Amino acid sequence: MPATKKKWLTAMTLSALLLVPAGAAPGLQPAVATDENAELGNALSEILDDPRLDGATVGVNVTNASTGKTVFNRTDHLLLHPASNMKILTGVAALEVLGPDHRFTTDVLHTGRLNPGGVLKGDLYLRGKGDPTLLKEDFAQFAKDLKAKGVKKVHGNLVADDSWYDDVLLSEDLNWSDEHNYTGAGVSALTASPNTDYDAGTVIVNVNPAKEAGAAAEVTLDPFTESVTIENRAETVGKDGKKSISITREHGTNNIVITGTIPVGATASRSWTAVEDPTMYALDLFKQALKGEGIKVSGKLSEGETPEGAAALTSKQSMPLSELYIPFMKLSNNGHAEVLVKEIGRAAAGEGSWDAGIGVMEDVLVGYGLDTEGMRLRDGSGMSHKNLVTAEQLSALLYEVQAEPWFPVFLNSLPVAGHPDRMTGGTLRTRMKDTEAAENVKAKTGSLTGVSTLSGYVTAENGEKYIFSILFNNYLASSVTPIQDEIAEAIAELD
């Protein structure tokens, strides 16, 4: 844990002392009547009268980042779904509990003994401790390390150990129809990612046309894995035909089904598809890597805990959280959020589970003065439609964390409005271009059906820094993000 003040350690005591109504955020001060408030209030009120919000539920809070005084609010006490603004709470809790230098470790160990001829008479274990960034190349390096140590054959089983976390792969509110999507991938302590976006527990399915119409489409996987099966029903059609490809994994199975048509010469269709068993997916990649180095395994692939006394052969540490937070927050990676929930549960409560992790998260939030009796936390990513927070609570948290030594890491991880670079602008890279908010607003986006949110920081033309939280729920319009952008732009234009 970082050498910072451990406010969350005294959470129960603080909770008992906080004599505030449910949902209140004691860190913020009431608005005062100033010309600044009036000017901003008039502008934002006009923006919020947009007919696209007719019938919607709105929570908006704007706070001076230096003083903590609220300068505008519109029903900011209402409990609303945060969508991926939930990652603000998760990200803060993980930095406070784990620290920005925290790394995940993956180990390769063995039982038995390695004889002079290079035969390992025992089982080989691949033990994961939550790293969501393991790539095909990392398993290849493990295999190279074993070869360098003289291992030529494993006369035993190849065993995956994911016991660092519990065996519940999916958060309880995840819709079954989302299970095959990369946004709903299962969370395991041992997993793999297909590329450097680090969407752990997913494989990229590529569908290309054949050279001639009438032939089956050509399907490949990145990385190739035998942990899933492919049922290819897609057909190549003529150049003037329709491109309509569906890629999905059948509920509760390893079977990925591809249907539809793709014209000759068309560009590929791609899908980041969640695998059914991320643990065995990782083990399969390790098995292939061993085979690539000429290391034979005589036994079977299985799952189990590494025995006490197993000897270490090699290991890998992930990048620190300070680096992982870039793809996590910029790209709004759901899997990273859920891993962090389980990791803080393991670190602070001795249990890598959602229940333990969310309990630790609540303790952290109480330490920042938030009343967790006035909110509902169900996951780390915001995928759950049962999460409930207020705009006031989000602004209060964003205000309080500015004093933390790890705050620059958190701030740097937020998407930057209008910045074209994907790992800088993130989910805001196409928004607020050519405005005073461009490359100024640093904020977390959020989106679910009928939910759109944006919370973060902006500097006005007058030099004042502001915190804002905008939560829109239950709208029917096709998009309400332009309204959020107008609010952020109006704050940026204050002079």
Give me the DSSP letters along 183-213: GG----SS---SSTT--TTEEEEEEE--SST
Q: Which residues contact 2 (CB under 8 A, 6 or more apart)?
A: 95, 96, 98, 99, 100, 101, 405, 406
- Same domain membership, residue 339 and residue 270: no
- Same domain membership, residue 455 and residue 358: yes
- Same domain membership, residue 449 and residue 302: no
Residue-wise pLDDT for 259-286, tens only, equals 999 999 999 999 999 999 999 999 999 9
Instruction: Identify whether 332 is a catalytic site residue.
Output: yes
Q: Has residue 440 been placed in a domain?
A: yes
> Does the pLDDT at position 470 exceed 90?
yes
235 CB neighbour count, 10 Å cutoff: 17
- Same domain membership, residue 380 and residue 297: no
How many structural domains is the chain composed of? 3
Residue-wise pLDDT for 358-412, tens only, equals 999 999 999 999 999 999 999 999 999 999 999 999 999 999 999 999 999 999 9
For tokens 């049922």, what's the residue? 231
Per-residue confidence (pLDDT) for residue 125, from 0 to 100: 98
- How many C-alpha atoms does 321 have within 13 Å on its Cβ side? 27
In the set 193, 271, 318, 332, the catalytic residue is 332
Q: Has residue 194 been placed in a domain?
A: no
> Does the pLDDT at position 337 exceed 90?
yes
Q: Has residue 196 been placed in a domain?
A: no
Q: What is the CATH number of the domain that holds 283?
A: 3.50.80.20
Nearest to 382 by CA among 284, 280, 471: 471
- Same domain membership, residue 95 and residue 57: yes
- Same domain membership, residue 426 and residue 335: yes
3-class SS at 62?
strand
Last residue of a domain, one of 274, 303, 336: 274
In the structure, what pLDDT confidence band is assigned to residue 37 with cuts at 50, 70 and 90? confident
Structure-model confidence comparison of residues 415 and 30, the more confident one = 415
Per-residue confidence (pLDDT) for residue 20, from 0 to 100: 35
Per-residue confidence (pLDDT) for residue 490, from 0 to 100: 97
Average confidence score pLDDT of the chain: 93
3-class SS at 358?
helix
Per-residue confidence (pLDDT) for residue 38, from 0 to 100: 85
Per-residue confidence (pLDDT) for residue 423, from 0 to 100: 98
Residue-wise pLDDT for 60-69, tens only, equals 999 999 999 9
In the set 7, 84, 316, 381, the catalytic residue is 84
Q: Has residue 183 been placed in a domain?
A: no
Per-residue confidence (pLDDT) for residue 134, from 0 to 100: 98
Q: What percent of the chain has pLDDT over 70?
A: 93
Per-residue confidence (pLDDT) for residue 9, from 0 to 100: 44
Q: Has residue 285 been placed in a domain?
A: yes
Instruction: Identify whether 84 is a catalytic site residue.
Output: yes
Say which range, 103-107, 169-173, 451-455, has the weakest mean pLDDT: 169-173
Instruction: State mean pLDDT over 98-114.
Output: 97
Length of the chain: 495
Instruction: State mean pLDDT over 418-445.
Output: 98
> Does the pLDDT at position 115 exceed 50?
yes
Q: Has residue 134 been placed in a domain?
A: yes
> Does the pLDDT at position 485 exceed 70?
yes
- Same domain membership, residue 347 and residue 447: yes
Residue-wise pLDDT for 159-198, tens only, equals 999 999 999 999 999 988 888 999 999 999 999 999 999 9
Instruction: State mean pLDDT over 44-52.
Output: 97
Full residue range of the structural domain in which residue 110 is found: 105-168+278-317
> Does the pLDDT at position 3 exceed 70?
no
Q: Tell me the β-bridge partners of 231.
A: 257
Instruction: Identify whether 381 is a catalytic site residue.
Output: no
- Same domain membership, residue 142 and residue 161: yes
Per-residue confidence (pLDDT) for residue 176, from 0 to 100: 85
Q: Has residue 1 been placed in a domain?
A: no
In the set 7, 87, 129, 442, the catalytic residue is 87
In the structure, what pLDDT confidence band is assigned to residue 28 with cuts at 50, 70 and 90? confident
Verify cis geometry, omega within 30 degrees of 0, for the bond prior to 21.
no
Q: Has residue 175 been placed in a domain?
A: no
- Same domain membership, residue 482 and residue 336: yes
- Same domain membership, residue 214 and residue 124: no
